[in-house]
Chain A
Amino acid sequence: MAWIGLERWSPYAAGIGLGVLTWFAFLLSDRTIGCSTPFSRAGGMIERLLRGDKALARPYYHRVKPELGWDVMLVVGVVIGALVSSLLSGRFSLQWAPALWAATFGAAPWPRLATALVGGVLMGIGSRWADGCTSGHGISGTLQLSASSWLAVIAIFAGGIATAFFVFGVSGG
């Protein structure tokens, strides 16, 4: 059982594990694994807490119901799974700025936190706009040979690579 405490697995072992999980999601739940729809649901649930049932009038929430279901539990599970994995390997540590960020832009927390917030907002908009993310399109969609998902993955990496080179090229050197 030493493998369970390793800090890193071969990316292929991790990928095969993720692939096998998709079989069970189809079989036991008739679902695809995706991590961005639950953020819409959670956003709607928070708005409902603040504004009451008026929030449910938004047309988007007729399509994506703001309720606690399979996919919201999935994302909660991801936090727990990564926590267990990192505790078992000793990787767990509280960290404000990742190493590559700190080496390029400095280790001060605030610039990194502000950037993460801005990036998150863009990603939240983009994931709903494209109707899927790197899990929903990138893994679950490509494995179904879905045309929309292959196109989404190409757009995601095109946008991601261009932005990464711009950000690190301009400011990082």
Chain B
Amino acid sequence: MLQRIRSHKWAQLGIGLATGVLFGFFLQKGGVTEYDVILGQLLLRDFTVVKVMLSASITGMLGVHLLRSLGWVQLHPKPGSFGKTVIGGLIFGAGFAILGYCPGTAAGAIGQGSLDALLGVSGILIGAWLFAVFYPKLEKPILHLGDFGPVTFPELLRVNAWAVVIPVAIILSVFLLLIERAGL
């Protein structure tokens, strides 16, 4: 049954769209499609972005690992390297602070009428295209620098996934509790 849905092209386009609609709805309700909220986070004045991201991550972590233990889903961790992940993340971070939206929340910001996000999305398109143009020059010298592959922490530690999922979920929940306590 799942295989039939997963391999049905039109069903997948519909599921992608429906997932996006709900994703955008939750992002907007959570306040993270607002420039002010995102800059508030990066200026460490308002921790809404961290609260949304961590509660999404904890919820997703528990459910997805349960589905995996049931044998219904597989994980798809992305391969990483220091040249790719750290340098790319830092460039992304600079763009994040200057634009004030990320790719998903920029799309959401357009939906709520924030016209600056239209220019932001145009910029992201140009940037993604520039990367595709320069990719052959970057690939060998930088992107593979310090390759560590598509590894997960339970694999690195050679333990059952739940031995990491449960402690990480508890630590992140306590972190959220401390943020609330601190009034952030």
**Which residues of A pack against B, CB within 8 Å?**
6, 8-9, 11-33, 35-36, 39-40, 42-44, 46-47, 58-61, 64, 68-86, 91-101, 109, 112-165, 167-168
Taking a contact as CB atoms under 8 Å apart, the answer to whether A82 and B92 are in contact is no
The CA of A135 and the CA of B114, in the complex, are separated in Å by: 20
Q: Are the CB atoms of A147 and B156 closer together than 8 Å? A: yes
Q: Once the chains are docked, how many angstroms separate the CA of A163 from the CA of B103? A: 18
Chain B residue nearest in CB terms to A80: B21
**Bound complex: CA of A20 vs CA of B99, how far in Å?**
28
Residue of chain A at shortest CB distance from B115 = A96
A153: chain B residues at CB < 8 Å are 89
Instruction: Say whether chain A's binding surface is mostly helix, strand, loop, or mixed.
Output: helix
- Chain B residues in the interface with A (C-beta under 8 A): 2, 5-6, 12-36, 39-40, 42-44, 48, 51-61, 63-64, 67, 72-81, 84-100, 102-117, 119-133, 135-136, 138-139, 143, 148, 150-154, 156, 161, 164-165, 168, 176
B42 — which chain A residues lie within 8 A by C-beta?
157, 160-161, 163-165
Interface contact B16-A146, CB-CB below 8 Å: no
A129 touching B91, Cβ below 8 Å: yes
Please, which residue of chain A has its CB at the minimum distance from the CB of B30? A14
Q: Which residues of B contact A30 (CB under 8 A)?
A: 6, 73-74, 76
Contact residues in A for B91 (Cβ distance below 8 Å): 122, 125-126, 129-130, 159
From the candidates B17, B76, B88, B115, name the one contacting A155 in the complex (CB within 8 A): B88
Hey, which chain B residues are within 8 Å of A132, CB to CB?
78
Minimum Cβ distance to chain B for residue A131 (Å)? 6
